[in-house]
Amino acid sequence: MKFKYYLGLAAAALTMVGCSEEFLDTEPTEFVSSSQIAEYSEANPGLQAANVSGIYATMYETGTGGTTGHDDYGQKGYDLYSDMLSSDVVLAGLTYGWYSDISRMQVTQDYTIQDNYQVWRYYYRIVFAANNVIDGLGGNDAMPESDAGKLYLGQAKAMRAYAYFYLSQFFAEEYDPAQPILPIYTEPVTEAKGLSPTSEVFDLMISDLNQAIELLDGSSVAALQEVDKAVAQGLLAYVYGAMGEYEEVQTITEDVINTSGHSILSAEEVVYDMETGTGGGGLNTVNNNSWMWGVDLTSDQGLNLISWWGQFDIFTYSYAYVGDPKSIDLGLYNAIPDNDVRKNQFQVVDGFGENHPLPINKFYATGRTLGGQRYIDTDYVYMRIEEMYLLHAEAAAKNGDEESAKNALTTLLSERMDDTSYLDGLSGQALEDEVYLQTRIELWGEGKSYLAMKRNKATITRASNHLTDAGAEIPYNDDRLTFEIPLSEIQNNPNINEQ
């Protein structure tokens, strides 16, 4: 009966934590604590299945950043934060106020604003949950004998690294090995920790992901929301990319491309054809071979207005539909060639602003009725194979292997435009710039342009259709692009007393 009771706890609904509560919540209520279940896990690692499922649910459930805000809905919420900070996504209306502090880059200059707490809280929630699973399976140095034990331990280590990776990007201006940036927790928390240097945070991520890759090798996952070997490799490529270790990035991404079995979205899949009413769908469903990591959402999960679709899609009952649309930066839009099918992902829609092309043919609820989708059954994408081609091209270009960079770009762009021969004439910085541009175009609205901006040490220029700071030039390491350690952490953690 104890087994049934513990699994029931793990499957219980998420309990939201109010902003006034202390940050250091070491036993999130939707996870079975390691002390409750560790003694049983060695004999039956499957008992950790509910805990691991709880980690993945945290990525899309509402309130997992510890607030009741309508921008608090898991990973896709922070993807949108980063897309706005990179300025590729434009907040084209200020009717309801969500994201206005992000768009104006005020959050990142005031540690008392709740959004800083929300980002910090979400990713550390993942860390604590992963630590419970790892501890329950024997600890950081364990090597389970069963396939189930290896699967759950590998996934937990990958998810801990995933959380620390995003924390390292959101809370540090750039990669500086000596700079203290984050507290490291590798066991169920008994006391608050101070800031560890960047080098130690990245060493932990690399160790976790290499172990995850080993543990997950040869395993299969039950659903796309679960981390498999290819996803762990993709995360490791991002970690090395943030460090500037591009030889590692090139090797890892080549392996993912060659062995994962995923394929690039076709021209027909990547954009909906408004004239024929056909095509598209590649960015709203897990049912295509491009997606490496995502979640199959159904109306039974109850997501509605408080969701990424509830903020982004005018064909959903959403803030975008009723006054706060999200459009593409005009500078980026104008950089898309007319012979590129991705130009047609964006359209100016009557009533939504003539300078604001909306992504109505890239992301959309399938009914395509304004405000039509009430309960969300369109899916979330976290990672797709196109990212690996672009990371491979970026790494190869920076490594001086220009032929490999052009080959990777050509493979992708041959599904986006009729003529890719212009790539033959690119070299040096011009080739690197082209890879960066193609990354921003291909992955627009998917939370990846912020990461690319930091890797490429780019300066962003806000186009004329931004409602604030139009024309501003902002370098990648400007403190306006990085979150602040939240007030609640500084108040409640005696080992941290300043940013």
Residue 16 pLDDT more than 70?
no
Mean pLDDT throughout 379-394?
Answer: 98
- Share above pLDDT 70 across residues of the chain, in percent, rounded to a whole number: 91
Q: What is the mean pLDDT of residues 468-487?
A: 96
What is the Cα gyration radius of the chain?
Answer: 22
Q: Which of 2-11, 46-55, 189-198 has the lowest mean pLDDT?
A: 2-11
Give the model's pLDDT for residue 22: 42
Q: Which two tokens stand for residue 316?
A: 């959903």
Q: Which residue has the higher pLDDT, 97 or 39?
A: 97
The yes-or-no verdict on residue 71 having pLDDT over 70 is yes
| Dist. CA 151–CA 228, nearest whole Å | 9
How much of the chain is in helix, strand and coil states, percent to nearest 5?
45, 5, 45
Q: Give strand pairing partners of 327.
A: 90
**pLDDT tens column, 250-302:** 999 999 999 999 999 999 999 999 999 999 999 999 999 999 999 999 999 99
**pLDDT over threshold 50, residue 412:** yes
CA–CA distance, 295 with 363 (Å, rounded to integer): 15
Residue partners of 26: CB distance under 8 A and separation at least 6: 128, 188, 189, 190
Give residue-wise pLDDT tens across range 400-409.
999 999 999 9
Q: What is the pLDDT of residues 34-46, one digit of tens each?
A: 555 555 555 566 6
**pLDDT at residue 387 greater than cutoff 80:** yes
Mean of the per-residue pLDDT values for the chain?
Answer: 91
CB atoms within 10 A of CB 319: 25
The pLDDT assigned to 57 comes to 96
Q: Between the CA atoms of 443, 459, 391 and 326, what dihedral angle is there, to the nearest 10 degrees?
A: -10
- The contacts of residue 44 (CB under 8 Å, 6+ apart) are none
Residues 6+ away with beta carbon under 8 Å from 394 = 241, 246, 249, 405, 432, 435, 436, 439, 452, 455, 456
- Helix (H), strand (E) at residue 161: helix 147-170
Specify the pLDDT at position 1: 25
Per-residue pLDDT, 313? 97
Identify the weakest region by mean pLDDT among 56-60, 246-250, 429-433, 495-499: 495-499
Q: For residue 6, is pLDDT > 80?
A: no
- How much is the average pLDDT of 72-101? 96
Instruction: Convert 175-206 to b/e letters by CB count within 10 Å (16 or more is b).
Output: beeeeebbbbbbebbeebeebbbbeebbebbb
Tokens representing 134?
């790892």
pLDDT, position 28: 47
The pLDDT assigned to 490 comes to 93
pLDDT > 90 in the chain, percent: 87
Query: What pLDDT, on a 0 to 100 scale, did the predictor assign at position 21?
Result: 38
SS3 state of residue 166:
helix
Structure tokens at 484: 């602040």
Kindly tell me the burial class for residue 8, based on how many C-beta atoms sit within 10 Å of its own C-beta (0-12, 13-18, 19 or more): exposed
Report whether pLDDT(413) > 80: yes
Q: Report pLDDT for 14.
A: 30
Amino acid code (one letter) for 235: L
Asked whether residue 132 carries a pLDDT value surpassing 50, the answer given is yes
DSSP H or E stretch at residue 117: helix 114-136
Please, which residues bridge with residue 272 across strands? 279
Q: How far is CA 434 from CA 193, 393, 403, in A?
A: 42, 10, 14
Condensed to tens digits (0 to 9), the pLDDT of residues 167-215 reads 999 999 999 999 999 999 999 977 899 999 999 999 999 999 999 999 9
